[in-house]
Amino acid sequence: MTADKRNPFMTKPLIAVCSALLGRAAPGASRPSAGLASGGTHWFVTWTSSTGDRLQAVAPIGAGDWSRPVAIPPDRATTAPEDANLPPGILAEVKHGGGKVILRSARRAPGVRPAFPSAGLIISRAADGGCQDMAFADDPPDAEILAVALRVQGDNLLAVYLVADGGGWVACRALRFSLASERPEGDAWRQLPVYPRSPGVAAVIAGFHDGMLIAAGGANFPDRPPWEGGVKRTYDEIYARSLEGAEWRAVGRLPAPRAYAAVVSVPAGVLAIGGENSTGVFQDALMLSWQGGKMAIKPASSLPVALASPAATVLDGKVYLAGGYAAGTPRVSTNHFYCLDLANLAAGWQPLAPWPGPSRALAVMAALDGAVYLISGLEMNTGADGKQAVLNYLTDAYRYRPGKGWEKLPDLPWSVVAAPSPAPVSPRPGRVFVFGGVDGRQVGKTPRDRRVPEDIIYFDVTRHEWRLWSEAWLEPVVSAPIVSVGNEWVFVSGETMAGHRTMAVTAWRPGI
């Protein structure tokens, strides 16, 4: 991350390569085969279909469609030899240009810290003792690769692989890639002045109003982590900075320390809804606004019930709020779903039909093209003894259209609990971005000193699928809001790993 606060740091993304679906394959089938057809201008691929037939397809080495698969006689069928003694995670490798071209998998596994890119099939180049990732198959993240064949002719690469689709069947796919491809310019990142509260805070209240970035409250463990007896502290300071300002400056205090509120920026100011501190869970809401060069704080519409760690977003002049923890012990998540019409504040929060899934807190919400998205979260219920918490890290997602109700979306490849919210979106093409988040499969299985994941995934509205973004998140955090400022999205402080915070404030502009 560059220290230059004015000029963005342009990253170099990996190349997301679309593969071609050749057909279904037999579960447990032998490896596919690939090679050059006679004449040297076309690739050929053979594999065993789901009906047991040996099929073949052909395509030009560079671009062009694959032929329709045809059955071939058994005496023409070939089986690719096994690659011997490959290191763990390496699917195939061939020599190329004084080094090697490698196909590897970085599918997430319990107990292993996720590292970008968490993709099923990655193309890498190894030379001079180093290895650099170049591209990955633009398949659903976390795809399970069952078998691979790799061929390289000059700078032209062909990877043919069998992949489990998660629906009980196996697909044979082919990916063509030029090793001479130039990686395009990618996202733009800026490092903004650091947050003034050391060592940083999680669950800060942050938003944008009248040209000012406003941040308040938050919580941390100032002395030592919780497993060493550290005590969480919640804050009441309010800071602000202009877009051109060199540093943050103190501009006031909250009526009481507060963190873990749902936060949205609205025309009237920054709306903080619910939340908690060491004395309990809040039912009220606060409106923080910048007026005449000063910070103004006034009460806003209170919730029907007290909630901590709900999620919220704004769609067409209305604030939608979902989930959160109820007050009291033991802590339990809720399925509350409320709407506040900013043009009719006197009506207060109106209850709406909840989503058709588990209760949750620490979820992600977004608004795009007339719909509200609710993504992942943590379900927390009481155990059989009425005391012990039962946790369920959720991978489900839903879309709500006012007047039409809820629909279930495809599940995420992993849970993204406490990922920054409201999530960034792009209208054209329609995408909902989810940054990092807690993968429940890793909880309690990886060391506490490992940073949270840096993968970014997005929901592709047109394809109706989750996909892996081609770049890593440079400063990954959880329990942090995202603030939309112009054409950028700003992350304010947050939690980098269990019990640890960061003072970093970063701005992201996607290279779409």
Are residues 199 and 235 located together in one domain of the fold?
yes
| Residue 1 falls inside a structural domain | no
* Mean predicted confidence (pLDDT) in 474-481: 94
Please tell me which of 96-110, 112-126, 247-261 the model is most confident about, judged by mean pLDDT: 247-261
Are residues 352 and 494 located together in one domain of the fold?
yes
Token pair belonging to 341: 């019409």
Contact 205, 185 (CB under 8 A): no
| Residue 183 falls inside a structural domain | no
Place of tokens 């590897």: 104
| Domain span holding position 139 | 15-178
Residue 231 to residue 361: CA distance in whole angstroms: 22
Are residues 316 and 463 located together in one domain of the fold?
yes
Q: What is the CATH number of the domain that holds 300?
A: 2.120.10.80
Are residues 133 and 205 located together in one domain of the fold?
no
* 393 or 131, which is more confident: 393
Task: Give residue 84's pLDDT band: very low, low, confident or very high (50, 70, 90).
Answer: low
Q: How many domains does the chain have?
A: 2
Least confident segment among 138-142, 279-283, 298-302: 138-142
**Beta bridge pairs of residue 459:** 432, 466
Cα of first residue to Cα of last residue in the chain, in angstroms, is 20
Are residues 142 and 195 located together in one domain of the fold?
no
Least confident segment among 63-77, 357-371, 428-442: 63-77
Least confident segment among 98-112, 246-260, 344-358, 420-434: 98-112
Contact 311, 321 (CB under 8 A): yes
Task: Give residue 385's pLDDT band: very low, low, confident or very high (50, 70, 90).
Answer: confident
Q: Residue 8: is its pLDDT beyond 50? A: yes
Identify the pLDDT of residue 81.
Answer: 55
Identify the pLDDT of residue 75.
Answer: 63
Are residues 494 and 437 located together in one domain of the fold?
yes
Contact 259, 195 (CB under 8 A): no
Residue 257 to residue 260: CA distance in whole angstroms: 11
Q: What percent of the chain has pLDDT over 70?
A: 95
Task: Give residue 355's pLDDT band: very low, low, confident or very high (50, 70, 90).
Answer: very high
Place of tokens 């190349």: 15
Identify the pLDDT of residue 331.
Answer: 92
* Mean predicted confidence (pLDDT) in 1-24: 73
Are residues 52 and 119 located together in one domain of the fold?
yes
Q: Residue 151: is its pLDDT beyond 50? A: yes
Q: Residue 309: is its pLDDT beyond 60? A: yes
Residue 2 to residue 205: CA distance in whole angstroms: 26
The rounded radius of gyration (Å) of the Cα atoms in the chain is 25
Identify the pLDDT of residue 246.
Answer: 79
Residue type, 45: V
Task: Give residue 113's pLDDT band: very low, low, confident or very high (50, 70, 90).
Answer: confident
Are residues 237 and 337 located together in one domain of the fold?
yes
Q: Residue 4: is its pLDDT beyond 50? A: no
**Beta bridge pairs of residue 381:** 390
Identify the pLDDT of residue 187.
Answer: 80
Contact 148, 161 (CB under 8 A): yes
Are residues 192 and 333 located together in one domain of the fold?
yes
Which of 178, 201, 224 delimits the end of a domain? 178
Task: Give residue 77's pLDDT band: very low, low, confident or very high (50, 70, 90).
Answer: low
Work out the angle at residue 39's Cα, subtended by the Cα atoms of residues 38 and 40, and round it to the nearest 5 degrees.
95
| Residue 6 falls inside a structural domain | no
* 229 or 256, which is more confident: 256
| Residue 222 falls inside a structural domain | yes
* Mean predicted confidence (pLDDT) in 24-46: 89
Are residues 104 and 231 located together in one domain of the fold?
no
DSSP string, 294-356: EEEEEEEPPPSS-EES-EEEEETTEEEEE--EESSSS--BB--EEEEETT-GGG-PEE-PPPS
The mean pLDDT of the chain is 92
Q: Residue 18: is its pLDDT beyond 90? A: yes
Which of 152, 178, 204 delimits the end of a domain? 178
Are residues 386 and 240 located together in one domain of the fold?
yes
Please tell me which of 123-127, 351-355, 425-429 the model is most confident about, judged by mean pLDDT: 351-355
Task: Give residue 82's pLDDT band: very low, low, confident or very high (50, 70, 90).
Answer: low
Q: Locate all alpha helices (DSSP H) within 36-141, ordered by sequence.
A: none
Identify the pLDDT of residue 55.
Answer: 95
| Residue 346 falls inside a structural domain | yes
Contact 200, 503 (CB under 8 A): yes
Task: Give residue 63's pLDDT band: very low, low, confident or very high (50, 70, 90).
Answer: confident
Contact 314, 421 (CB under 8 A): no
Contact 377, 357 (CB under 8 A): no
Which of 178, 213, 248 delimits the end of a domain? 178
Residue 468 to residue 465: CA distance in whole angstroms: 10
Q: Residue 322: is its pLDDT beyond 70? A: yes
* Mean predicted confidence (pLDDT) in 230-249: 93
| Residue 419 falls inside a structural domain | yes
Token pair belonging to 284: 């009220």
Token pair belonging to 114: 């996720």
Work out the angle at residue 98's Cα, subtended by the Cα atoms of residues 92 and 99, and round it to the nearest 5 degrees.
30
Please state the φ and ψ torsions of residue 393, each to the nearest 5 degrees.
-80, 115
Are residues 112 and 204 located together in one domain of the fold?
no
| Residue 4 falls inside a structural domain | no
| Residue 7 falls inside a structural domain | no
